[in-house]
Amino acid sequence: MTTAISRRERRISPVFLGLVAIMAVSGWAVWTDYSSSPGFAVFLFVVSGWVVSLCLHEYAHARTALHGGDLSIESKGYLTLNPLKYTHVALSIVLPVIFVIMGGIGLPGGAVFIERHRIRGRWRHSLISAAGPLTNVLFAAALTAPFWLGGAGQVPLVFRFALAFLALLQVTAAILNFLPVPGLDGYGVIEPWLSHRVRRQVEPYAPFGLLAVFGILWIPEVNQVFFDAVDAIMRGLGVTPFETYFGQEFFRFWQGAPQFPGISS
């Protein structure tokens, strides 16, 4: 009986499989130019791909915590990759998607609930926090593989734009998540190495860390420095600002088709 329950709690959720299916079908529509509205197809591809990456991000936290000693992870359903199982669906899924639509930023969301008292060893605590943003790094590397492998020229243009924009979201999410700000994964990496007094002083500010980061990004000078760093990383992966720009332009299908030579409106 216990084995049957364990298998059910590890089985991939139909909700996640549905998201992957939407990503695959919309990606096919963009690749083949099948959709009468390429912008809407790009929108579906990017949003579904972004939510899939959020699920994988949280799964990485959960899986690492399970191996670190928190056996309660299984019963919470986190290993099913079902976004509805997260403790804060609005913070983990809804809010990040809204940020993507509003500003084209992969802002990190909430996290799975990990019973930290079950984890032994500071390195394990740090690894659990780092596992999520490292997943975004790997996802970005996979999405940009055609670019840094020199095969981007074989990829249909609009699909290439969509890949570039989705990869940019992964890069922004990784950078922001690794910031040593209370409430974000970067702080979770260093927290086990801080003194008990410092951790106790910082703890009350953790719920406001994400809002503080979002507010600071609205400062033009900070925003410029941040996106200069993102562009530098994207260039290192073989992606140009031209490609990410048009990826976002197609994503915003409600503004109309972007004016680009060779692309049908």
Q: How far apart are CA 34 and CA 37, in angstroms?
A: 9
* Tokens (6 digits) for 207: 């719920």
* Tokens (6 digits) for 200: 């106790």
3-state secondary structure of 223: helix
Q: DSSP letter at 108?
A: -
Place of tokens 């690794």: 178
Catalytic annotation, pick one of 9, 58, 115, 203? 58
Burial environment of residue 256 by CB neighbours within 10 A (0 to 12, 13 to 18, 19 or more): exposed
Tell me if residue 58 is catalytic.
yes
143: left (phi over 0), alpha (psi -120 to 50) or beta: alpha
Residue 129: name the closest of 50, 208, 65 by CA. 65
Torsion of CA 264, 141, 114, 18, to 10 degrees: 40
- Residues labelled catalytic: 58
